[in-house]
Structure 1
Amino acid sequence: MGKLNWGISMLLAVSLVGLAGCSEQTSTREKELEERVAELEKQIAAYEKEEKEREQEEAEKKKEEEEQKPITVEIVHPETKEVIKTFTPLELGYGTKDSEFEKEIKTWAKEIARGTEQEEGYDQRMIPDRIGKDGQVIKGNPRVILEETELLERVVEASEKGGTVELPLYKTESGYKPEDVPTLGEAVVATYTTYYNTNVAGRSKNIELSAEAINNVILGTGDIFSFNTTVGPSDKAHGYQEAEEAVNGKLVMGVGGGICQTSSTLYNAIDKLGVKYVEHHNHSVNVGYVPKGRDATVSYGGVDFRFENTTGVPLLVKATTKNGSLTVEIRTSKAYKKQLKN
C-alpha cells in the first residue's frame, strides 16, 4: 500500500510540472490526472480490502488452531532442560475430576522420586566424603531430594493454561568446611571395640573390608549417614566371602556374613553422641559380639543403619581392625569438641 501512495504522489508531481509549461492544455490534463488518481484510489481501496480480509482469515485460522490444540504441561530437568514427561491435563480429569487428576500426578511424582523396580529414582542418599591415604578429600555425592508435594503443586498450577514445569530437585552438600579437614582427627569423642575369631577367614575378611569402607568418612553437620550406601554391595565382586549370617532367626551361610558386626560396632560408638536415628534394626537372633539389643543389622538393598549428625559439629569416623579386634572411633577437632552436643 505504501508503494501505491508513493505512485500517486509521483504522478501528481509529474503532472503539475507538465501543466506549468503548457497552460493552454490545463483543463484536458487536469481531467486526465483526476481520472488516473481516481483509478489508483480504486486500486488502493481494493488492495486494502484484500489485505484486511487476508489478515482476518489468518487471525481466525490461528484462533481455531489454538482452540483445537490441547493444553499440555511439560516436565523438564532443571539442569539439562530435558523433557521428562508431558501431561495433557484435560485427558487426566483436570477441571472435571480434580481428585483423580491429582492422585495420578501424586503417584507419578512418588515413582520418579523414589524409583521403581525398573528405574532408579531421583532421590539419592548422600555418599559421604572421606579422607584418602594422602590426606586429600575424596569426594562422595550430595544428598538429592525430589520434593513430591511441590512437584504436584507446580503441575496443578500449570494445568490451567499449560506450560513448562521444572523438577524441584534439591541437593545438599556435606556440612563441613574444607579447612576443617586437617584437624578433624585430633580428639576422640566416642569409641567402641568388638572382637571376632581370626580363624574364621571369611567372616574376618568381611569385617575388615566393611571397616575399611567406613574408615576416614567425614560426617558434616546435618549429614545423614547410610551404612549400606557408604559400604556398597557386600558381594563377591567386591571381595566379600561366605560366612555365617542371621536370616529369619537362623544362622545360615551367605556372602558378606559378618558386616553386621561393623555396623553394630559403629552403632555403639556413635550412640554415645547426640545423633538422630533415621533407620535402625536389630537382628532376629542374639549376637555374641555386643550386648543384647545393642546390635544394628544391615543388608544391602534391604534393611539399613542410618543416622543424622545432629551433634552440631563435623565428625570423622575411624575404623580399624587388629588381631581379632574391631575398633570404631568418632573424632573431631579440639576446637569443635568444646561445642559438641551430647
Structure 2
Amino acid sequence: MRTIFIFIFIMVMLLVGCSDVSVIEEQVQEDSSKLENQEGLYEEEVETPPDEPIIDEEKPSFIINVIDPNTEEIIASLSPIDLGFYTDYSSYQREIEELAKEIARGTESGEGYDQRMVLDKVHENEELVAGHPMILLKESELVDKILSVSPEGGDVELPLYITETGYDRNEYVSLDDVVIASYTTYFNASDVGRTHNINQSSEAISHVIVGMGDYFSFNTTVGPRTKETGYQEALEIVNGEFVLGIGGGICQTSSTLFNAVDQIKVSYAERHHHSREIGYVPKGRDATVSYGTLDFRFQNTTGFPFMITSSTTDNSITVEIRTSEKYANSQN
C-alpha cells in the first residue's frame, strides 16, 4: 500500500511539472510574438530623411510645342523631363529663358521674331510704299507660359505684339505741305566718294513718314553700307583717327537729320557722338552711326505725324521736317 501511494505521488508531481513548463513555453512564445510585432511597428515608422529627395522614375513623358499664332506652325518642341524639370528646376528655367531669347532675337543662323518698324515712304511719283509694323516677342511672357504648362505639357503660342504706324495713310500727300524745321550742313564736293555717300543716304531718308509714336531708325532706313548696296570708299572716323571705309560721309547725313528733328518734340532712343570733333556741325551736335553697332533712333512724341525730306546741292545737304497745315496750325 505504501508503495502504491509513493508511485501515485510521484506521478502527480510529474504532471504538475509538465503543466508549468507548458505555461512557461506559451508565455515565452507570446512575448516573442509581441516583440516581433513591436519591431515591425518600429520599422514602419522609419521615414526617408528630408535631405534625400524621393524620385519617381516613372514620370510620364510629354512634349511642349511652341506655336506661331499667325501660321499655326510649330517652331520648337521640348521635353521638360529631358531638360531637367524634375531634377534641376533652376537649370530648366535657364534653358527656357535662353530658348525665348533665341526665338525673339534670333541666332547666327537665323533671324528672330523681333523686328523694328520700317516706316512708310513716298516715292517721286507720289506713290506710297508701305513699310511694316514693329513686332515684339515678349520673352518673359513666353517663359511664364512654358513654365505654367511644364508639369503636363501642351501647346504654347508666341506672345507677339504688333505696333502699326501711327498715322492715317489716307492723308500722306498732305504731310508734305508745311516746313516746321530745317537744317543745312556743307561738305567738300571734290571728295567724290564722300559726296556720293551723302547723296545716297540723303535719298534713303527723304520722304519717310514718321507717324505719332513711331520710332525712326537711321540704320534700318538707310540699310547696310557696302559696295553691293552702292556706297563708295571715303574717309571716316574710327577710334579718333581718319581711315578709309565704305560709306564714309553718311554721318553728316545723320547729324544733319538730328539738328533738324531736334527743333521739334521728339524723344531720343539712341544717339552717339564721334570720337573727335567734326567741322560740319557745332561741338556736341553730331549723331554718328555705324551699321550693326551705332544707330541714331528717335520716337515721334510731337502728337502729330510728319515727313522727313532731304536734298543735296553740289556742296550741301538740307533736311526738312514737314507736316500738313492742320497739324502745323495746331502747334501755333
Q: Shared fold (TM-score greater than 0.5)? A: yes
- Which stretch shifts more, 233-242 or 206-215? 233-242
- Match for 1:89: what amino acid? P
**Partners in 2 of 1:121 and 1:303 — Cα distance?**
20
**Partners in 2 of 1:71 and 1:239 — Cα distance?**
53
Identify which of 143, 150, 161 aligns with 1:152: 143
State the 1:152 CA deviation. 0.7
Q: TM-score, normalised by structure 1?
A: 0.77
**CA 1:287/1:174 → structure 2, altered by over 3 Å: closer, same or farther?**
same
Q: Verify the 8 A CA contact 1:76 1:166 in the aligned structure 2.
A: yes
SS in 2 for 1:312: coil
Task: Please list the CA deviations of residues 206-225 of structure 1 after superposition, one character each: whole Å capped at 9, or x if unmatched.
Answer: 00000000000000111111
Q: Please, which runs of 5 or more residues in structure 1 have no aligned partner?
A: 1-66
- Match for 1:322: what amino acid? T
State the 1:198 CA deviation. 0.9
State the 1:72 CA deviation. 1.2
State the 1:99 CA deviation. 2.5
**Partners in 2 of 1:71 and 1:337 — Cα distance?**
60
Task: Please list the CA deviations of residues 293-313 of structure 1 after superposition, one character each: whole Å capped at 9, or x if unmatched.
Answer: 111111111111111111111
**Partners in 1 of 2:69 and 2:118 — Cα distance?**
22
**Partners in 2 of 1:158 and 1:136 — Cα distance?**
48
Partner of 1:43: none
Residue 221 of structure 2 corresponds to residue 237 of structure 1: no
Q: Verify the 8 A CA contact 1:313 1:339 in the aligned structure 2.
A: no
Q: TM-score, normalised by structure 2?
A: 0.80
SS in 2 for 1:229: helix
**Partners in 2 of 1:177 and 1:272 — Cα distance?**
24
Residue 106 of structure 2 corresponds to residue 115 of structure 1: yes
**Partners in 2 of 1:112 and 1:73 — Cα distance?**
15
Identify which of 217, 224, 237 aligns with 1:226: 217
- Which stretch shifts more, 254-263 or 75-84? 75-84
State the 1:252 CA deviation. 0.4
State the 1:118 CA deviation. 2.5
Aligned-residue sequence identity (percent) comes to 52
Identify which of 259, 268, 271 aligns with 1:280: 271
Partner of 2:6: none
State the 1:255 CA deviation. 0.9
Residue 27 of structure 2 corresponds to residue 70 of structure 1: no
Partner of 2:134: 143
Q: Verify the 8 A CA contact 1:109 1:152 in the aligned structure 2.
A: yes
Task: Please list the CA deviations of residues 251-297 of structure 1 after superposition, one character each: whole Å capped at 9, or x if unmatched.
Answer: 00111000000000001111111111111110111111001111111
- Match for 1:326: what amino acid? I
Residue 163 of structure 2 corresponds to residue 172 of structure 1: yes
State the 1:90 CA deviation. 2.4
Q: How many residues align?
A: 275
Partner of 1:328: 319
Q: Verify the 8 A CA contact 1:313 1:340 in the aligned structure 2.
A: no
**Partners in 1 of 2:82 and 2:230 — Cα distance?**
52
Identify which of 79, 88, 104 aligns with 1:97: 88
| Alignment map for 1:263-342 (pairs within 5 Å) | 263-340=254-331
- Match for 2:179: what amino acid? V
Q: Pick the structure with greater CA Rg.
A: 2
Task: Please list the CA deviations of residues 119-164 of structure 1 after superposition, one character each: whole Å capped at 9, or x if unmatched.
Answer: 2111111111101112121111211111101101111111122111
**CA 1:340/1:309 → structure 2, altered by over 3 Å: closer, same or farther?**
farther
Identify which of 75, 79, 97 aligns with 1:88: 79
Q: Please, which runs of 5 or more residues in structure 2 have no aligned partner?
A: 1-57
State the 1:92 CA deviation. 2.1
Partner of 1:258: 249
- Match for 1:266: what amino acid? L
* Alignment RMSD: 1.5
SS in 2 for 1:236: coil
- Match for 1:221: what amino acid? M
SS in 2 for 1:194: strand
**Partners in 1 of 2:182 and 2:146 — Cα distance?**
49
**CA 1:167/1:93 → structure 2, altered by over 3 Å: closer, same or farther?**
same
- Match for 2:240: what amino acid? G
Q: Verify the 8 A CA contact 1:129 1:139 in the aligned structure 2.
A: yes
Q: Verify the 8 A CA contact 1:214 1:230 in the aligned structure 2.
A: yes
**Partners in 2 of 1:312 and 1:201 — Cα distance?**
40
Give 1 or 2: higher helix fraction.
Answer: 1
Partner of 1:49: none
Residue 173 of structure 2 corresponds to residue 182 of structure 1: yes
Residue 188 of structure 2 corresponds to residue 208 of structure 1: no
